[in-house]
Structure 1
Amino acid sequence: MLEVDRINTFYGGAHILRDVSFGVGAREVVALLGRNGAGKSTTIRSVMGLTRPRSGAVRFDGTTITGWAPYRACRLGLGFVPEDRRVFRELTVLENLEVGRRPPRTGAPAWTAEGLFELFPNLAERRATAAGRLSGGEQQMLTIARTLVGNPRLILLDEPSEGISPLIVEQMARVILEMKSSGLAVLLSEQNLHFARLVADRAVIIEKGEVRFRGTFAQLDAEPAIARETLAV
């Protein structure tokens, strides 16, 4: 469904991503792993069109979308959940969902506000609360719910477990598995290897802007030096 083919992305004169390649299949969860600053978020931004790769290609469901404006990628069926959440703080939870709502899309699960409240019971209890009054974990849930109500076919999650409580992390894992079972493909960037194991089918490890590993967690376990060199603090 998603193919990233040898992309090179720069910030000014700094070469951040170097020939990064990987894919995400339909109904698959792929974890993009690496230390802080390895290039995970830049990869997500390059896929979404927030940062244009200087070379290489990004293809979504057979369409080359390299450098497309994010709104065009969204219309095609890509959803994006940023690390910094970006909720509309003065709007209620329900109003935030209304902002993200789009018509049902062929080949994608159709999410409603009530269906999302079943998935996120914390939000159901606070549907009339201004988003700015939610906890960090609840804001993360709201950002995911607002993206889902746009009915994407593939969702990009940037550091979904970062800075939230262990209890919310467990709920987040359940939500990602529910996304997969509903038919969504998921690409998530993550530093937490334990969390990635709970939800992902495969891992892609990036170090200093280059792919060091692509494969299953069983394959990663068979090469412990890779995790030690690229993920250990």
Structure 2
Amino acid sequence: MQNSNTSTSAPQVLTVLMAEQRGDRDQVLPLTKNMIQLFNYLEDATKLKIEIRRYPWRRVLHNAENGEGFVFGIYKNPERMQSFIFSEPVYSDKIWLMSRCEDKITYNNIQDLKGKTIGIVQGSSAGEEFDNQVNVLFRAEYNTSSLAGRFSKLHQKRMDAFLLYDPRTNLREMQKEFNQIYAADIDEYRKKKTEIFCIVPKPINVIDAHFAMSTHGDRSLLERLDRALIQARKSGDLDRIFSK
């Protein structure tokens, strides 16, 4: 039981570093509803106050490695496991190819990308097989955190497709949403409502996303997060948060 001095003290702060996404006016886009639900849930379950800071992805990794806070939405790979300690999985991220509908791109295996130009955010990963073929089997077009900028490059045919990270599985709804936002000023879409951008139906990869902290960080915070995540998975709460 806590004594009277600790029971009224402010909750411990967990600083969470996340990648920013920027819109068509270079504004930082708000967090999605499922992310807000997740952080509210974890605050309640861990009794920690979560403070979110958003940066370009490379800066997220750099700042986390230097102890500013926990990375959120990071995948394991051999290089990162030298620098970070990972939480239990939070959700499974699907890595889709966003393409121009007119190109009718298909994807069944990595060889289907041969000779293509694929948009990639610097510092990101799509799994070991994909990462090993960057600028070997296919060419990388390195992008910033501006999602609007990526759609603009795609429309201008500066790349054949770009990587889209999204845990959702309803491709029709996702595609409709992205066209409504990012094809709104394109004549063909505005006049005929013909979709310009298409998601290739098979994902490049499905990878578990985690929290992670520097190997020099406070492991007690990670343990509190892990207990909450394990319970949330057992109860089905995590599935409910990411089901839409």
TM-score range, shorter chain: under 0.3
Q: TM-score, normalised by structure 2?
A: 0.26
For the pair shown, the structure with the greater C-alpha radius of gyration is 2
